[in-house]
Structure 1
Amino acid sequence: MAQHQEETEPVESPYYHRVVTVPNVVSVVRFALIVPAVLAVLDIDEHPVRALVLVAVFCLTDWVDGTLARALRQGSRVGEVMDPIADRLGTVAIAVAASVVGLFPWWVLVVVAVVDAVVGVATLVRGTLGALRVTVVGKAKTALLMLGTVLVLAGPAWSSPEVTDVGRVLVQVAAVLHVLAGIQYFRQALRR
């Protein structure tokens, strides 16, 4: 996943070089949710509602921090770097946990991990960490992956295998889009 700010904040913005901003606090909360969300997914048989709530909140904070950054005009360099890292760590960790308990197909996890690793290495080698611009395909992939993940977990919470099946379809479509978005971000990383 790429960062969620569509436009770079001008360097003159009073928030661009700040560390403590409202959106950055939300991103820190997202980091803090990763371990409890993963543990809850691993324990989904015993506490399915807890897993659903923690992962849904994790996914929601991804939208909230970007919305707040734009609404409050508090885009920052720290946020540009922190947001995609939180997304990648959380998404992969939750996908691993969901695969371990049999809710995600393993190939989805492999695709997400490989694409993120390739793009991550390219951004580190080229010094473009936090400089990639979100694409339409990237936005669609993120929305489908997060919605699909929540639905996959909603199935056990609501005792509805059909909901889980719909979520799995969305997650698999998102994995295909993840490859396409990864190609776009890889090209961006090489160009910058």
Structure 2
Amino acid sequence: MTHTDGRPGGAPAPSRDELGDAVWTIPNALSALRLLGVPLFLWLLLGPQADGWAVVVLMVSGATDWLDGKLARALGQSSKLGALLDPAADRLYIVATLVAFVIRDVVPFWVVALLVGREVVLAVVLLVLRAYGWPPLQVHYLGKAATFLLLYAFPLLLLADGVGPLAAVVAPVGYALTVWGTALYLLAAVLYVVQAAGLVRQSRAEARVQR
């Protein structure tokens, strides 16, 4: 499944095999910074319940998510490590936010069940691919779009959990982004599963030919 990464002309994004092995790069440092923000974000939500600062952490995470991809392309620093860290940070923020939101009763349980179930299915898919000798699938643009929507929806849901006119204004926007983001997130998972199934069939066909 070929897809683009937003480069001019719709050029296909490079596969992981074409990426460099560099570790100490600016994009990787930004991804690591995002990962370090996950426990801070959870503590802010569940400890002092400093929702304002938690929103700031999410905003910084979203900004660095956009920036590390731009810098990787602009500086020629795309790497295999970065291709792993970036989606890992996205998923950790989403799962951490969902756990905190369930504990604080901010979002319905069905939303959490769908999104966490999606991660479980993709984890199984990853194990199957590894068993057949395939690397993890490259992040699909639909998955990135879904993550973008959810990372914007979550701060709005936090604000909607409060009181006053601001909560009333942001609540419908936050819930709409949550529904759209969840739908795209599940659709991206379906595409990942379809792509993985194709790779497994290819491996089995090659194995039969070699017999």
Above 0.5 in TM-score? yes
Deviation at 1:120, TM superposition (A): 1.9
Confirm whether residue 27 of structure 1 aligns to residue 35 of structure 2: no
Per the TM alignment, residue 10 of structure 1 is displaced from its structure 2 partner at its CA by: 8.2
Deviation per CA, 1:59-104: give whole Å up to 9, x if none: 2222221121112111001111121111111211111112221222
**Paired residue total:** 185
Distance of 2:111 and 2:37 partners within structure 1: 22
**Is 1:147–2:152 an aligned residue pair?**
yes
Work out whether 1:77 is the aligned partner of 2:80: yes
Distance 1:49 1:29, change over 3 A: same
Taking the aligned partners of 2:159 and 2:27, their CA distance within structure 1 comes to 27
Match of 2:40 among 26, 31, 36: 36
Corresponding residue number in structure 1 for 2:95: 92
Q: Which amino acid in the other structure matches residue 72 of structure 1?
A: L
Aligned to 1:63: 66
Matched with 1:8 is 14
Q: Cα 1:176–1:72, aligned 2, differ >3 Å: closer, same or farther?
A: same
* Aligned-partner Cα distance in 2 for 1:133–1:156: 32
Aligned counterpart, 1:169: 176
* Paired residue type of 1:179: L
Q: Which runs of 5+ in 1 are unaligned?
A: none
User: Which residue matches 2:208?
Assistant: none
For residues 15-45 of structure 1, give each alpha carbon's deviation from its aligned partner in whole angstroms, at most 9, with x where no partner exists: x11111111101100110001111212247x
- Aligned with residue 193 of structure 2, among 152, 177, 186: 186
Q: Distance in 2 between matches of 1:60 and 1:149?
A: 15
Q: Deviations over 1:86-135 (max 9, x none)?
A: 11112111111122212222211111111111112212221245432413
Contact 1:132–1:188 (8 Å) recurs in 2: no
Q: Quote the sequence identity (%).
A: 32
- Report the structure number with the largest CA radius of gyration: 2
Contact 2:28–2:68 (8 Å) recurs in 1: yes
Bigger relative contact order, structure 1 or 2, given CA contacts below 8 A and separation 6+? 1
What CA RMSD, in Å, does the superposition of the two structures yield over aligned residues? 2.5
Length-normalised TM-score, structure 2: 0.77
